[in-house]
Amino acid sequence: MNILVVHGPNLNLLGMREPGIYGTFTLERINGAIAELAAELGCTVSFVQSNSEGSLVDAIQQASGGFDGILINPAAYTHTSVAIRDALAAVALPVVEVHLSNIHRREEFRHHSFIAPVAVGQISGFGPDSYLLGVRALFNHIKKEIVTQA
Ligand code: DQA
């Protein structure tokens, strides 16, 4: 099983970016923890981070064929991007949306997600654990899909 982990804009700054909200873990450290969990579960993970909407759309389009599911923190594009939502809908892979912070208890403009309607589910508010919970949820979801299709 291959999972693509997609990180949106400004997540490359984790560790020094608003640590009161996003914590002190760097993206590298989060990716390391995801890779460790993936090895434990017996799946492979690849990572992509971009600050640009078009590059994220390209990465999602390229996931078709090579990956069984997408774990995505679309960051600010969560609240603005029809293009990322359409790309996810187009590739038709199972998607889990994650956020470090609880977007629903923050500013009102963060309450709406363009991504949620094309995702299996959303995990929000658990810091780096959101990613780890997301990997487990996506892994279990894909496994169930494989059993149902067999
Ligand atoms: C975020 C929440 C978004 O509202 C914000 O724009 C981010 C990070 C999170 O992980 O909590 O950049 O996706």
Residue 78 Cα to ligand 1 midpoint, Å, equals 8
* Closest C-alpha to 101, from 145, 77, 131, 121: 131
The tens-digit pLDDT sequence of the chain (150 residues) is 999 999 999 999 999 999 999 999 999 999 999 999 999 999 999 999 999 999 999 999 999 999 999 999 999 999 999 999 999 999 999 999 999 999 999 999 999 999 999 999 999 999 999 999 999 999 999 999 888 877
Q: Whose CA is nearest to atom 13 of ligand 1?
A: 75
- Total domain count, the chain: 1
CATH number at residue 75: 3.40.50.9100
Distance CA 40, CA 104 (A): 31
pTM across the whole model: 0.96
Could you confirm whether 99 is annotated as catalytic?
A: yes
Domain that holds residue 91: 2-149
